[in-house]
Amino acid sequence: MNTLFQPYRLNDTITLANRFMMAPLTRCMAGPGLVPTEQMAAYYARRADIGLIISEAVIIRPDGQGYPNTPGLFSEAQIEGWKKVTGAVHAKGGKIFAQLWHVGRLSHPFFHHGEVLAPSAVAHEGTVPRMRELTYLVPRALILAEIAQLVQDYAQAAANAIEAGFDGVEIHGANGYLIDQFLHHSSNLRSDEYGGNPANMSRFALEVVDAISARIGGERVGLRLSPGAYVHLAGSPEDRAVFDHLLAELNQRTLAYIHLGIFDDSLTFDYLGGRASDYLRSHYQGNLVGVGNYSAETAAQAIKAERFDLVAIGRPLIANPDYLDKVKNGEALVPYAETMLAELV
């Protein structure tokens, strides 16, 4: 357990106070104009003793929205709002990355009155969370010029994040959202340079990584990935080759870390040979963040076994702003309950 509370050097630029990270937790609490609020600043500041806070997912542009009241990072008002959040975290000695997000086909015109865009014209079946009256639509496949613009929009959002005082960014390339939709065969049916084989299917993710790294420095860039499709996507044995290629390319680049996107790391995937975290560890040479129903005790065991280097904690941090103190003192944690989503405690 003591290992978890020791400082951890991500790279020459960033050293964390401990090996805990706050997992990105969508709260849908932004104010008018998708601007962060004072309440959000207080919420993050109460958790500033965590080694690195990953913010709730932040929309890079209006058509990236897929849930109500999720904050953005594309307007001056939003940047100013986030300055209050980062300032509050830094005042408590903490560090915070912004998670950059576009939901792709999981968006809806209700949010932005425009088209729904995705790698291919393949709809996700179901309804929008928290707005069950909205059914997902068939998206329009992105054309090449629009893909190039998206790459630049990700880079601009990263620059906006640094202007807003964030210590870095995490690119949301997981959980069936836009970047992940390019990486899986069930959602990417393209036959041009962004589809059809592992190199092409990896291209968009790598272009986003490269553009952001060129703008703010790769040492300030994390990437979240879901090599095992488990939400918003159907998995395919062919996906393995895509991630084999992607990770080999990422090993040639500077990144702060890769963060597994999964809700439960006990899940196994035949085409990955077991758990997604073990697959990432065997293919990626840099810092790896584990997540998925870990307690402090099980995380310490996994880190001791060198399965990953840091652990991201999610729902227990919603229920316990004083999570670290309770773990240190051996106190019982308050159980998470869905009713807690209605408040920023």
Catalytic residue positions, numbered: 177
Burial bucket for residue 214 (CB in 10 Å: 0-12, 13-18, 19+): exposed
Helix, strand, or coil (residue 236): coil
> Which amino acid belongs to residue 144?
L
Helix, strand, or coil (residue 185): coil
Distance, CA of 342 to CA of 28 (rounded, Å): 9
CA distances to 168, 218, 254, 258 from 13, rounded to whole Å, are: 10, 10, 12, 16
CA distances to 66, 87, 112, 186 from 33, rounded to whole Å, are: 15, 20, 12, 34
Cβ atoms within 10 A of the Cβ of 6, count?
A: 11
On whether the CB atoms of residues 296 and 327 are closer than 8 A, the answer is yes
CA distances to 13, 72, 264, 340 from 319, rounded to whole Å, are: 31, 25, 18, 7
Beta strands in 6-105 (DSSP E): 8-9, 15-16, 20-22, 52-59, 96-101
CA triple 235-222-312, angle to 5 deg: 75
How many helical (H) and strand (E) elements, i.e. helices and strands, does the chain have? 11, 14
Distance, CA of 287 to CA of 264 (rounded, Å): 20
Q: Which token pair is 248?
A: 């080999």
On whether the CB atoms of residues 249 and 213 are closer than 8 A, the answer is no
Radius of gyration, CA atoms only, the chain: 19
Q: Which token pair is 246?
A: 């992607």
Helix, strand, or coil (residue 288): strand
